[in-house]
Amino acid sequence: MDGGEFSPESSRDRPSCCGLSRKILVCLGVGVLALILLGLGLALFAVHRWRLFSKPLQWNATRTTPHFSEIFLGRCYLYTQVLHPELGSTDCVRIMKTFKSAFISKHPCNITEEDYQPLIELDTQTLPCDKFVFWSKSGDLAHQYTRIQQEMFTLEDTFLGYLADGLSWCGDPNTYEMNEHSCPNWRDCPNNPKSVFWKVMSRKFAEAACGVVQVMLNGSIISPFDKSSTFGGVEMPRFNPKKVRKLQAWVMHDIGGLSSDSCSNPSINELKKIADQKQIPFVCHNDYRPIKLIQCVKAPEHPCS
């Protein structure tokens, strides 16, 4: 065999071109993947640093309530362990995290009702019929009444309502934290975290109402019933006539103010008309006596009848 002939043995001793190519491709692929992962990591780090140091949005309304988380958790434990121990198995930390997830890292003018839906689904409280108290322009008096008549419930006496009552909160698209500087109100934008929350809760409260339902109205103003109020525009339209046996209005007048037959007020007649259309029986009482007595105790310098 001369030197020009093919030798199988010599071919096995030489490295394969294809084998080298596969190794090179694998190495290149690993290198490219590493560069991509490094780029993603740097991008995420840059976004995090940008969010961390970006100035939060500024509004003219109140800021998030200081120590919000501590207050929220404290109320949750008090409500579920003392006030309503039947809810004692509630996971308060999960409730708070779910509540915050509705608005954290979101623009506070773009909150939707769906953002609060996961929170609503965690609420297992069921209220007894005949114990629902709605109110309009008479919140302080309504809450004084339910603090004494503890078996009665305004929206703020329900579990989620109790947690949020009197608090302010919002997030900011530039941070993972709550906005401690300022939050918008309904004048700034209607779809802010607080307004949307109470609208969702008002609707849920009204849809759950059953039996004899009470509404406390302010007889010391021109129109005790206002169709554009939360009660008139959100709650009343959602009463289910198959569940609500009767709507009972308590029209209360300020102690020392002018007394009048507010049940004959045109706005009350409008409320009755709406109830009639929904086939819900309606009755009205001027200065319902159990509540009048609360007013008298709060103002002992004025004669009460």
Catalytic residues: 129, 210
Written as six digits, the tokens of 75 are 């109320």
Helix axis angle for 139-148 and 289-298, nearest 10°, is: 100
**Phi and psi at residue 136, in whole multiples of 5°?**
-150, 120
CA 185 from centre of chain: 14
Q: Which amino acid is at 116?
A: Y
H/E stretch holding 204 reads helix 193-208
**Phi and psi at residue 298, in whole multiples of 5°?**
-75, -15
Sign of the C-alpha dihedral, residues 198, 133, 215, 219?
negative
241 touches 162 (CB < 8 A): no
H/E stretch holding 49 reads helix 17-53
d(CA 116, CA 99) in angstroms, rounded, equals 7
